[in-house]
Chains A and B, each alone.
Chain A
């Protein structure tokens, strides 16, 4: 029943996007066209949601959904392999997309003709990247999600967006070149790009080839680090996430997770423990870089004078937290990271939508953090802000508290002094700054006249932000269930042999018949 769902998850958004473009071109009145595109997009995503949930249920029971495109035997087919982690990320993406589309309804989508088709292409790239079992295919889906994100970043035009997009695109094109070079090195050494086959073969690399394999693997770490915005390749993120329209910023909450996901996928099963000369290539790097990223993000939060800019630094800090947890390279660390990824995706997106609503209501003050006008719906906004801030800092009883507690509990004794200090001190810094910002926004009123908000309408326009923040509250309520799931996820990622057997099917990993050929003279 769920057998072909992975394929559907990719092709349904693709055809929806094409159809949506066609509808947009055929309809005379742009407003009517947008309404039709919106209806189509929502219908398609609501149809995908049950499929994603069914994949989640199937994988929860221990299944790995494998589709070998063209029905070639592994490892020759391009493989889509959905295990627990993939299913969780795909479900998160679809849920997030529905909220983004809902949040764009008030104004954002009207600033250009192609918002909905671009959203569908973005969805296609994201779910593809989360499901693929092939390293080169991962590159292709990266490019799909990137080109959609370039266009979404530019959506609505304006000088700030142009400049941010120029930097973001050039950086990512350089990143793509690095990705291809890494793919070339790894293929040249191992003769395969199927992730399961790579996991089986990486252990067999002779000592003489080990340095080259390490170079290729670390180049991949650089590329994934660039996507995830890990120090020192994080400098693009604040400008890029600050520039786009609110719902697009919210959507970008999942983009950094693609990088973290790829690090988990590649550096634990393929270059992880027990892999001969390839063992633990990334281990000396990931944890320290994660901690530095966390500190850098928190310092950025403390130094911010603009609400939206502050949230972009919160994204950096959150990436730092996830990478720290992954960098422990233990099963419990990974399980905590998975929990934190789910929590932070929904929370960050909700925070971006909330910030957009606040900025839109402050008139000329915008996001500047100094005494401003009294904002309409201040009470509702303040409650939402309180929920978001508590969960970001990690105060009980929010899901952020549970996430951070799980990470702290997972730290092995040797690392405890460093990791605990950094995580707790940065949380304190966030607490101070978020409390200060809350009082500035809602209590430091320069005039009692309510400015007339130009974009949003009634209190109902806050529903998407409230929904995302409520979702993160729901995570706290069902934390035990999610924790059980993320433990099973981590166990599955660390069970290399099981993954290889599931994905390769009957085909035992191909013996290394492929030998380097001598160049002709």
Chain B
């Protein structure tokens, strides 16, 4: 049951992210990237299998453990994702100011590119 709910949750978040990514304004695209990276992080987290209340590192008297590696991977991915999102937000703001529009192809006709 937990797995089903989790999978549905990841799927819905990813679908929303992809939908937003396909828009033509940079603001919605940034939101879409954020949602997609949340879904990715949750997926990566689940690759260690879902479990509740288990020790991640050695403890006396326990025989079953939660896999700590995906947790470490997710932590790294979150940090990188945060930096990348910050960068793309700033870039989108600069592009909006300098190109005069938040359209992804802003100013293409005037520049003849």
Contacts and interface: CB of A to CB of B under 8 A. Distances in A.
A150 B105 contact: no
Contacts of A474: none
A169 B26 contact: no
Contacts, number: 107
A173 B33 contact: yes
Contact of A166 (B43, B73, B84, B91): B91
A283 interface: no
Contacts of B43: 180-181, 184
Interface string A140-182: 1001000100100010000110110111011001101100110
Nearest to A189: B47
B70 A166 contact: no
A162 B97 CA distance: 11
Interface in A216-242: 239
Interface in B71-104: 73, 76-77, 80-81, 83-84, 87-88, 91-92, 94-95, 98-99, 104
A460 interface: no
Interface centre among A170, A516, A521 (most CB of B within 10 A): A170
B37 A188 contact: no
Contacts of A136: 73, 76
Given A136-B73, A185-B47, A162 B111 contact: no
B84 A176 contact: yes
Given A173-B33, A519-B3, A519-B49, A163 B113 contact: yes
A517 B76 CA distance: 24
Interface residues of B, number: 48
Q: Interface range on chain A: under 10, 10 to 19, 20 to 34, or 35 or more? A: 20 to 34
Interface string B31-53: 00100110111011011111111
A143 B82 CA distance: 12
B69 interface: yes
Nearest to A515: B49
Interface in A165-210: 165-167, 169-170, 173-174, 176-177, 180-181, 183-185, 187-188, 193
Nearest to B94: A162
A160 B111 CA distance: 8
B88 A169 contact: yes
B69 A166 contact: no
A512 interface: no
Contact of B49 (A143, A150, A160, A516): A516
Interface of A: 136, 140, 143, 147, 150, 154, 159-160, 162-163, 165-167, 169-170, 173-174, 176-177, 180-181, 183-185, 187-188, 193, 239, 514, 516-517, 519-521
30 contacts: A140-B76, A143-B84, A147-B84, A159-B107, A162-B94, A162-B99, A163-B99, A163-B107, A166-B91, A166-B95, A167-B104, A169-B84, A170-B21, A173-B88, A174-B33, A176-B37, A176-B80, A176-B81, A177-B37, A181-B40, A181-B44, A183-B73, A184-B40, A184-B44, A184-B46, A187-B47, A187-B73, A188-B46, A519-B2, A520-B51
